[in-house]
């Protein structure tokens, strides 16, 4: 997910995306420990997406 896409989301949608993406990350890490993922870089991309979402959420909180 790109920063431009994140900026278009509503604050509630960002919070929802963070929760969903965190669940995906936990699931991927667990699956990777049992059976290696085909593309382990997905874990890194997911972590970075969570960071982007959290950054935008914090930015909005500081603006208010």
Which domains does the chain show, CATH number per domain?
3-63 (1.10.287)
Per DSSP, the three-state class of 40 is coil
Predicted pLDDT of residue 1: 82
Q: Are 10 and 59 in contact (CB under 8 A)?
A: no
Q: Are 12 and 56 in contact (CB under 8 A)?
A: no
Distance, in Å, from the CA atom of 27 to the CA atom of 37, rounded to the nearest integer, reads: 11
Predicted pLDDT of residue 30: 96
**pTM score, two decimals?**
0.91
Predicted pLDDT of residue 48: 97
In the structure, what pLDDT confidence band is assigned to residue 64 with cuts at 50, 70 and 90? confident
Q: How distant, in Å, are the alpha carbons of 12, 23, 39 from that of 16?
A: 6, 11, 25
Q: Are 40 and 32 in contact (CB under 8 A)?
A: yes
Give residue-wise pLDDT tens across range 35-54: 999 999 999 999 999 999 99
């Amino acid at each position: 997910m790109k920063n431009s896409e994140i900026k278009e989301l509503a604050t509630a949608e960002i919070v929802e995306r963070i929760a969903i993406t965190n669940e995906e990350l936990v699931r991927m890490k667990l699956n990777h420990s049992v059976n290696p993922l085909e593309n382990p870089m997905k874990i890194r991309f997911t972590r970075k997406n969570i960071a982007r979402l959290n950054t935008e959420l914090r930015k909005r909180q500081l603006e208010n």
